[in-house]
Structure 1
Amino acid sequence: MNLRALVSVTGKPGLFKLIGQNKGGFIIETLDSAKLKSIVNLSTTKMATLEDITIYGDEEEIKLIDILENIKAKGEAPDVKASGNDLREFFREVAPGHDESRVYSSDIKKIISWYAIIKELPIFEEEAPEPLT
């Protein structure tokens, strides 16, 4: 799975594709059909690639990429409007060992909504590029 160009931007709902950089910041594009472009100034806004996101685990952090792979293997995810108990039970299956006291229902809903956005994209078939050394 290749999540390198997909980013989450603080204060903006949804996910974005990083498409370039200019002197004002990074150029991002929405992943929906509108394909709206905007510029993110990193001095005022935080941005994180999905590849770098982790969640709290009981023993060690769990990579988002692993959780998304587990959701894909499961076949489907619950609706984000499902009950908190249903969401937590599902998350126990796809993210075993997560720290239930520090991973909130809102975090689970966000991950499930991100999966809904990217599940149809070809990123699940793409190999992640090798890290730069």
Structure 2
Amino acid sequence: MNLRGLVSVSGKPGLYKVIGQNKSGFVLESLDEQKVKLVVNISTSKLASLEDITVFGENGDLKLIDIFEKIKASESVPDAKSDGKTLRAYFREVAPDHDEEKVYASDMKKILVWYSIIKELPLFDEEPAALPASAEAEESTEEK
């Protein structure tokens, strides 16, 4: 699963793909059927890259991509409009280590909505983009 370039914009529903950058912000395209283009000013809007999003866990944060992989492997995915008890039971399966006091039903709904958006995209089955050579070199020196 390749989530590079996919972002969530605060105050805007759905997910967006970064398609460009200008002096004041980013040019985004919605991932829904309308393919609406949007220019977002970085000083007034918050962007969250799906690659960087984590969920509170009991023993450390859980990466969103790992939760998506477990949802992908699960047999049935509940509707995002399901009640909180159903969502909590499902999240105990796909993210058993999530912090039940800090992860709210609204968070679980948002994750399932995002999953339903990206599961139809070609990048859903792509391998994650490789790190640039300079980043790989930095990681290998940090491990020593």
TM-score normalised to structure 2 length: 0.89
Inter-partner Cα distance in structure 2 for 1:109 and 1:29: 22
Q: CA deviation at 1:77?
A: 1.4
RMSD, aligned CA: 0.9
Q: Deviating runs (4+, > 2 A) in structure 1? A: none
**Distance in 1 separating the partners of 2:74 and 2:121:** 17
Unaligned runs of 5+ in 1: none
Look up the match of 1:104.
104
Amino acid at match of 1:51: E
**Gaps in structure 2 of 5+ consecutive residues:** 136-144
How many angstroms does 1:75 deviate by?
A: 3.5
Percent of residue pairs identical: 60
Aligned residues between the structures: 133
Residue in structure 2 matched with residue 28 of structure 1 by the alignment: 28
1:130 Cα deviation (Å)? 2.0
Q: TM-score, normalised by structure 1?
A: 0.96
1:69-80 equivalences in 2 (<5 Å): 69-80=69-80
Q: Counterparts of 1:111 and 1:28 in 2: how far apart (Å)?
A: 20
- Bigger-Rg structure (1/2): 2
The CA deviation string for residues 56-112 of structure 1, in whole angstroms up to 9 with x for no partner, is 000010000000111010143111121110100001111110000000000000000
The within-5 A match list for 1:32-47 is 32-47=32-47
Question: Once the 2 structures are TM-superposed, how far is the Cα of residue 24 of structure 1 from its aligned partner?
Answer: 2.2
